[in-house]
């Protein structure tokens, strides 16, 4: 089953669930041939709604195998074990759910298509209940005291009541997930299903004329002997982007890419995931792993000018990789200016070289003709180091940022963040509260007095 078919069936199933047609929704979900972790989660919730505990356990098992970081799946499987009176396994899953929260007070799953917030204090609340069922009242009290450190004002009374019950060695009710709440497919991708023309207006075309120039994205097509009529080939879809970081997919919906790959973004959602095509394969990739590739195209009838005719694409190896475009034959001052702007460093703080060991240094005295001779197919790779010490740059968080992506840095409003590197103009890598990760630049403000 293709990704589009899976998306269509998923949307159809949650629509039935919205109408409370639970059996029909479950049948549609079960017809999906390769469910992702979210779909398996939805299947488990519907089985729980029907009190089919064994089937619910199997569905949550599959969800966790697909995504071992999905805390809410551990939480739900823990509740399934609790209902089956398998309290040791229930306790273990609540512990795993708490670990998957990675010290955060909560996880808001709205960005992933689930209108639910999983609170750490509620996970510890249920963990305490499972321990109480096992007769470990002391452990139950310890977990509830720990829950006080993660509580919110709205959850304070819940924890207090449970703590009072354990002091009297009385059981209390568990916090249960609203079973009618399901993961939903990305609304932007669903909207695309209704469009008949996915390509839109053709921007890049080619022909089969002998010796014709081509874009570099598809090989020259063979010419049929004595054929006069031209046959245009399919237009390229999406916007070209270069991959900055390696991405290993965790679900069947996602696409494996490595740095330097050129992918075409077909759709970008508000949840920071992009639906891309690479080597005729399609899938989801984190958009902050990509950087838009500027390609200038000029065409006349039946011809496409090669995008690198008037410019070079220069790939720079630094603490992170990036690319800049410069006109062919550019002097050193143009090249260093582009790199300087990209790194937000003065040109005097940057050293470029043609090799990884830094021996073939490029500076104002270098004959740039020798450098550009190294280019192949309009591309050249250079290495970059900073020759002047950098003062530490710190930011203050203007807003709280929480993400379920393990690569991201979570922080609260007012937290101090140390800059480690600039991934691109929209994303930085930083360190805060002992954690390291990437975060959106729009959420922070540079502290006064920071200078390079």
Helix (H/G/I), strand (E/B), else coil: 159: helix
Stated as kind and residue range, the H or E segment containing 64 is helix 53-66
Half-sphere exposure of 328 (CA within 13 A, CB side): 12
Q: Give me the sign of the Cα torsion angle 403, 408, 410, 416.
A: negative
Residue 188 clears pLDDT 70, i.e. is over it: no
Residue 194 clears pLDDT 60, i.e. is over it: no
Phi/psi at 257 (5° precision):
-140, 160
For residues 346, 348, 349, 354, the Cα torsion angle rounded to the nearest 10 degrees is: 110
**What is the predicted pLDDT for the residue at 33?**
87
Closest CA to 341 of 326, 356, 359: 326
**What is the predicted pLDDT for the residue at 123?**
95
* Highest mean pLDDT of the ranges 126-130, 243-247, 347-351, 440-444: 126-130
Residue 298 Rama label (left phi>0; alpha psi -120 to 50; beta): beta
Cα→Cα distances 151→40, 96, 103, 106, Å: 30, 19, 12, 9
Cα→Cα distances 12→9, 245, 273, 316, Å: 5, 35, 22, 46
Mean pLDDT of 318-334: 81
Stated as kind and residue range, the H or E segment containing 304 is strand 303-304
Split at pLDDT 50, 70, 90, the class of 316 is confident
The residue with greater pLDDT, 389 or 346, is 346
**What is the predicted pLDDT for the residue at 238?**
81
Mean pLDDT of 362-389: 84
Contact between 102 and 403 under an 8 Å Cβ cutoff? The reply is no
Residue 100 clears pLDDT 60, i.e. is over it: yes
Contact between 321 and 311 under an 8 Å Cβ cutoff? The reply is no
């Amino acid at each position: 089953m293709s990704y589009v078919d899976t998306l269509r069936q998923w949307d159809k199933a949650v629509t039935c669930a919205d109408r409370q047609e639970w059996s029909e929704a479950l049948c549609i979900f079960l017809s999906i041939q390769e469910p992702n972790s979210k779909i398996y989660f939805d299947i488990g919730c519907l089985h729980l709604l029907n009190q089919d505990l064994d089937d619910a356990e199997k569905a949550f098992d599959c969800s966790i195998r697909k995504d071992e970081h999905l805390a809410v799946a551990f939480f739900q499987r823990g509740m399934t074990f609790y209902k089956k009176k398998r309290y040791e396994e229930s306790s273990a899953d609540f512990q795993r759910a708490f670990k998957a929260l990675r010290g955060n007070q909560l996880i808001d799953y709205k960005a992933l298509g689930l209108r639910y917030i999983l609170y750490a204090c509620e996970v510890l609340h249920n963990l305490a209940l499972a321990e109480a069922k096992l007769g470990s009242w002391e452990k139950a009290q310890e977990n509830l005291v720990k829950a006080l450190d993660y509580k919110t004002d709205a959850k304070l009374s819940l924890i207090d009541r449970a703590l009072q019950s354990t002091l009297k060695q009385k059981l209390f009710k568990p916090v249960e997930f609203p079973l009618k709440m399901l993961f939903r497919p990305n609304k932007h991708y669903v909207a695309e299903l209704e469009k008949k023309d996915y390509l839109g207006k053709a921007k890049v075309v080619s022909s089969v004329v002998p010796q014709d120039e081509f874009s570099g994205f598809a090989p020259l097509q063979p010419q049929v002997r004595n054929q006069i009529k031209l046959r245009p080939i399919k237009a390229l879809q999406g916007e070209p982007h270069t991959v900055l970081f390696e991405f290993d997919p965790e679900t069947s919906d996602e696409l494996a890419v490595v740095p330097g790959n050129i992918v075409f973004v077909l759709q970008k959602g508000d949840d920071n995931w992009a639906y891309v095509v690479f080597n005729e394969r399609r899938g989801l990739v984190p958009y902050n792993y990509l950087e838009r590739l500027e390609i200038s195209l000029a065409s006349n009838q039946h011809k496409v000018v090669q995008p690198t005719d008037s410019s070079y694409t220069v790939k720079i190896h630094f603490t992170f990789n990036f690319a800049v475009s410069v006109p062919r034959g550019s002097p050193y001052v143009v090249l260093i200016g582009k790199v300087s702007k990209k790194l937000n460093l003065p040109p005097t703080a940057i050293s470029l070289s043609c090799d990884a060991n830094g021996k073939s240094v490029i500076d104002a005295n270098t004959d740039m003709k020798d450098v550009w001779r190294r280019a192949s197919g309009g591309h050249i790779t250079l290495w970059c180091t900073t020759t002047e010490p950098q003062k530490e740059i710190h930011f203050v968080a203007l807003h709280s940022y929480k993400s379920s992506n393990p690569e991201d840095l979570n922080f609260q409003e007012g937290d101090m963040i140390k800059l480690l590197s600039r991934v691109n103009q929209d994303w930085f890598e930083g360190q805060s509260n002992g954690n390291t990760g990437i975060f959106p630049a729009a959420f922070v403000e540079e502290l006064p007095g920071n200078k390079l």
